[in-house]
């Protein structure tokens, strides 16, 4: 039985949480494969809004098992808060949430290092969520990291101490003004670790292998988006993991020939939080309207998201890198009311027209070339079937499908689970 993937194709915040929640009824297991609490997956149902950071978005479905894979980085303190927020839902966490022993731990000093690193960069800062993601993945690839499995050892605190000491020396090296009380942070960390230890730790690659053999249906849930991928994103303004399809193989231990559908999610326009190039970014009333109507504020940091028209050059690149087989378009409702809809179909790159994503998409090198389409006025948020969609929206969807050569199977018309149109 193949493992399907669900990936964000832009700079994150495409609405993966909602779609995983919608799709969970078709799957036995939902598995997160990378990233950490830098993610904020928002789910809405029954009039309530939930934001998850590390816990997979299948947690609200009774029958789904949720796996936090080896590629994920876990901050025990944030994880504990997420668990506390779930208490009111009567979920059997011990059996429904399984954590890979190989997942790495975010230490309090990783968070401080993130802050020190960003402060030292001045204007060149990444715009990190400051959750300690970069420093934790640095320790992972530097072969110094602490893993969930270490917490099962008697001497885990010695390991912690050695690593934290090293981090303190590194924080001094940055020579920036970071105020902190490590004793307090450590006491929260140790308390949260004790909570974490009550959960179920597994050898997740073996668990998922056996699940596949038994014919269980597995959905691998990505975090962030393809343009934030450490290799293929807008480096260095990226996150520190592989957010693209191959990341699901390394982040879960799933063999490449076991990958089935690759479901790619994109917004009908584009957003980005943090620094870095964004060729179709708008600084006018249209951009302001997208942000306001789309409620474009970071689910983790609350920062306003930068907004702009859909960038088909970048989207095509993501479809190609990931081998996307099915597309899902989110937030179509936000574009209702725009007289004209623009789509960037090529770049003017240093005077030349190109239709692929070049090495450098900084604004001084790239000017977007737009195709203009007619907008639609109708409110989509109460629509329930594809037949109801306005003619001009269908023309927009057809245009994108033709350009991307992949069918758009879901059009989301609002944040709630029920505001989802299948085509």
What are the CA-CA distances from residue 28 to residues 1, 24, 25 (Å)? 12, 8, 8
Q: Which of 163, 228, 230, 421 binds ligand IMP (CB under 6 A)?
A: 228
Nearer to ligand IMP, 11 or 338 (CB): 11
Cis peptide before 236 (omega within 30 of 0): yes
CB of 54 to ligand IMP, least distance (A): 11
- Of the candidate spans 130-138, 141-149, 373-381, 398-406, the one that interacts with ligand IMP by CB under 6 A turns out to be 130-138
Residue 114 bears catalytic tag: no
Out of 71, 76, 134, 145, point to the residue binding ligand IMP (CB under 6 A): 134
By beta-carbon proximity to ligand IMP, the closer residue of 31 and 393 is 31
Query: With respect to ligand IMP, which residue has the nearer C-beta, 58 or 134?
Result: 134
Q: In the complex with ligand IMP, which residue's Cβ is closer, 22 or 227?
A: 227
Taking CB under 6 A as the criterion, the residue among 126, 151, 218, 334 binding ligand IMP is: 126
| CB-based burial label for 392 (10 Å; 0-12, 13-18, 19+) | middle
Please state, in angstroms and rounded to a whole number, the distance separating the CA atoms of residues 305 and 295. 9
Regarding 345 and contact with ligand IMP (CB under 6 A), the answer is no
d(CA 42, CA 44): 7
* b/e map 118-151, b = 16+ CB within 10 Å: beebeeeebebbbbbbbbbbbbbeeeebbbbbeb
Q: Does 227 bind ligand IMP (CB under 6 A)?
A: no
For residue 117, state whether it binds ligand IMP (rule: CB under 6 A): no
Report, in Å, the least distance between residue 374 CB and ligand IMP: 31
- CB-wise, 274 or 368, nearer to ligand IMP? 274
Other Cβ atoms less than 10 A from the Cβ of 46: the count is 8
Among positions 31, 55, 86, 133, the unique one binding ligand IMP when judged by CB under 6 A: 133
Q: How far is the CB of 345 from ligand IMP (least distance, A)?
A: 25
d(CA 69, CA 169): 31
Catalytic residue among 4, 21, 41, 114: 41
Closest CA to 366 of 346, 386, 380: 346
Q: Is 104 in the site for ligand IMP (CB under 6 A)?
A: no
The three-class DSSP label of residue 210 is helix
Q: How many whole angstroms from its chain centre is CA 310? A: 18
- Answer yes or no: are the C-beta atoms of 146 and 160 closer than 8 Å: yes
Please report how close the Cβ of residue 324 comes to ligand IMP at its closest, in angstroms. 19
User: Min. distance of Cβ 301 from ligand IMP in angstroms?
Assistant: 7
Nearer to ligand IMP, 156 or 237 (CB): 237
357 burial type by CB count under 10 A (0-12 exposed, 13-18 middle, 19+ buried): buried
Q: Which of residues 360-419 bind ligand IMP (CB under 6 A)?
A: none
Residue 321's contacts (CB-CB under 8 Å, 6 or more residues apart) are 226, 229, 232, 244, 245
C-alpha closest to that of 7 among 202, 303, 241? 241
Using CB under 6 A as the binding rule, whether residue 57 contacts ligand IMP is answered as no
Residue nearer to ligand IMP on the CB measure, 96 or 167: 167
Interactions with ligand IMP, residue window 234-293 (CB under 6 A): 237, 239, 273-274
Tell me how long the chain is: 423
Number of residues that bind ligand IMP (CB under 6 A): 20
Least distance in angstroms from the C-beta of 142 to ligand IMP: 16
Shortest separation between residue 383's beta carbon and ligand IMP, angstroms: 27
Please, what sign has the CA dihedral across residues 245, 250, 251, 253? positive
Contacts of 366 (CB under 8 A, 6+ apart): 277, 279, 347, 348, 349, 358, 360
**Is 148 within 8 Å of 193 (Cβ atoms)?**
no
CB-CB contact of 302 with 45 (8 Å) = no
Q: Which of 54, 100, 224, 420 binds ligand IMP (CB under 6 A)?
A: 224
Q: Which of 6, 22, 39, 91 binds ligand IMP (CB under 6 A)?
A: 39
Least distance between ligand IMP and beta carbon 44 (Å): 17
Question: Cβ closer to ligand IMP: 134 or 390?
Answer: 134
Catalytic residue status for 13: yes
Which residue in the shown chain puts its C-beta closest to ligand IMP?
274
**Residue 129 touches ligand IMP, criterion: CB under 6 A:** yes
131 makes contact with ligand IMP (CB under 6 A): yes
Query: What DSSP state is assigned to residue 72?
Result: B
Residues within the interface to ligand IMP (CB under 6 A) = 11-13, 38-40, 126-129, 131, 133-134, 223-224, 228, 237, 239, 273-274
Catalytic residues: 13, 41
């Amino acid at each position: 039985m193949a493992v399907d993937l669900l990936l964000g194709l832009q700079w994150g915040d495409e609405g993966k949480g909602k779609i995983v929640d919608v799709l969970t009824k078709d799957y036995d297991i939902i598995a997160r494969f990378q990233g950490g609490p830098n993610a904020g997956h928002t789910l809405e149902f029954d009039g309530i809004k939930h934001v998850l950071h590390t816990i997979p978005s299948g947690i609200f479905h009774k029958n789904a098992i949720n796996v936090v894979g080896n590629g994920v980085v876990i901050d025990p303190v944030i994880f504990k808060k997420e668990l506390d927020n779930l208490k009111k839902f009567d979920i059997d966490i011990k059996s429904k949430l399984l954590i890979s022993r190989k997942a790495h731990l975010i230490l309090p000093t990783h968070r401080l290092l993130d802050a020190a690193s960003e402060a030292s960069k001045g204007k060149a800062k990444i715009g990190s969520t400051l959750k300690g993601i970069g420093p934790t993945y640095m320790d992972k690839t530097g072969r110094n990291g602490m893993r969930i499995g270490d917490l099962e050892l008697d001497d885990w605190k010695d390991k912690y101490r050695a690593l934290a000491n090293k981090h303190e020396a590194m924080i001094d090296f940055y020579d920036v003004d970071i105020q902190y009380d490590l004793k307090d942070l450590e006491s929260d960390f140790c308390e949260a670790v004790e909570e974490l230890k009550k959960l179920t730790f597994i050898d997740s690659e073996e668990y998922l292998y056996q699940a596949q053999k038994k014919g269980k249906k597995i959905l691998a849930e990505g975090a962030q988006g393809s343009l934030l991928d450490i290799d293929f994103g807008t480096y260095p303004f990226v996150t520190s993991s592989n957010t693209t399809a191959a990341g699901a193989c390394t982040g879960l231990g799933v063999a490449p020939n076991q990958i089935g559908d690759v479901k790619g999610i994109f917004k009908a326009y584009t957003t980005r939080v943090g620094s870095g190039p964004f060729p179709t970014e708008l600084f006018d009333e249209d951009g302001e309207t997208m942000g306001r109507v789309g409620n474009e504020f970071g689910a983790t940091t609350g920062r306003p998201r930068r907004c702009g028209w859909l960038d088909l050059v970048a989207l095509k690149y993501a479809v190609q890198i990931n081998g996307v087989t099915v597309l899902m378009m989110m937030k179509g409702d936000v574009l209702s009311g725009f007289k004209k809809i623009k789509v960037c179909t090529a770049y003017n790159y240093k005077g030349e027209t190109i239709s692929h994503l070049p090495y450098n998409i900084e604004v001084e090198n790239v000017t977007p070339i737009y195709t203009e389409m007619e907008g639609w006025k109708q409110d989509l948020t109460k629509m329930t079937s594809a037949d109801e969609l306005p003619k001009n929206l269908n023309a927009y969807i057809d245009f994108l499908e033709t350009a991307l050569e992949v069918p758009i199977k879901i059009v989301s018309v609002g944040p709630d689970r029920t505001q989802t149109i299948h085509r």
